[in-house]
Amino acid sequence: MNGKPASDTAQGITGLVLLVMVGTIGFGIWRSTSPADTDVAGQLGTHQAAFQQTIIDARTAYNNAPNDLVRGKERPKRGEAVCAAVPSPEVRDWVGTVYDLTSTGDGSGVFSVELEQDIWLSTWNNSASETTTGLHTLVPADSPLYEQIAGLRKGQQVMFSGSFFMDKADGDCFNELSLTMRGSMSEPAFLFRFSDVRPAP
């Protein structure tokens, strides 16, 4: 035990506690106003938030279903809910994270964003799919959009605009790329044509 008076020690402890409290409050204020937290909350539009929540709710219902018979009803139910949540296939200023940033053999851009964990919007990843379906999503190498995405990096938060494709076969509302129902319900990737992509402010 050292010879420091108890009163001095008590005063030192009191000062330290006050310093920690002030620092904690200051940190909380900084966290509540920092761009990293407010960007997504402030920019996530009503339709995007409703879209993501619809996918999450449907995924939960599918995973909790007691058997495949019940699971089979969840996909068309999700499709109806998606169409209600996003009344137009054209969307503007949604927020996502760059997930895929590559190109096809002929140099066209392949691009995808992740909206929420395991929810993606994506172009085709090959030219043959465009030719077969007539749904053109790849980014031409000589386009302004190509220049926009060329300056991005994986994991970067972006704001983007573009359009879904209406689904005419599987009841998904918008065209979804998974080969199985389980993939569609658990890890959906929706086909998307990007028209504008820029770093989130």
Of 138, 115, 107, residue with least CA distance to 43: 115
Q: How confident is the model at residue 43 (pLDDT cuts 50, 70, 90)?
A: low
**Tokens 């077969």 belong to which residue?**
132
- The percent of residues in the chain predicted with pLDDT above 70, rounded, is 78
Structural contact between residues 96 and 39, judged by C-beta atoms closer than 8 angstroms: no
C-alpha 89/C-alpha 152 separation (Å) is 25
Q: How confident is the model at residue 5 (pLDDT cuts 50, 70, 90)?
A: very low
pLDDT tens, position by position, 67-120: 999 999 999 999 999 999 999 999 999 999 999 999 999 999 999 999 999 999
C-alpha 23/C-alpha 160 separation (Å) is 37
pLDDT at residue 25 greater than cutoff 70: no
The pLDDT value given to residue 11: 44
Instruction: Strands of the chain (E only): list them.
Output: 90-103, 109-116, 119-122, 157-164, 189-199
Tell the burial category of 101 from Cβ atoms under 10 Å away from its Cβ (0-12, 13-18, 19+).
middle
C-alpha 15/C-alpha 127 separation (Å) is 67
Structural contact between residues 191 and 110, judged by C-beta atoms closer than 8 angstroms: no
User: Which residues are CB-neighbours of 31 under 8 A, at least 6 positions away?
Assistant: 37
pLDDT tens, position by position, 49-81: 999 999 999 999 999 999 999 999 999 999 999
More confident position, 103 or 12: 103
- pTM for this one? 0.78
Q: Report residue 63 as tokens.
A: 């995973």
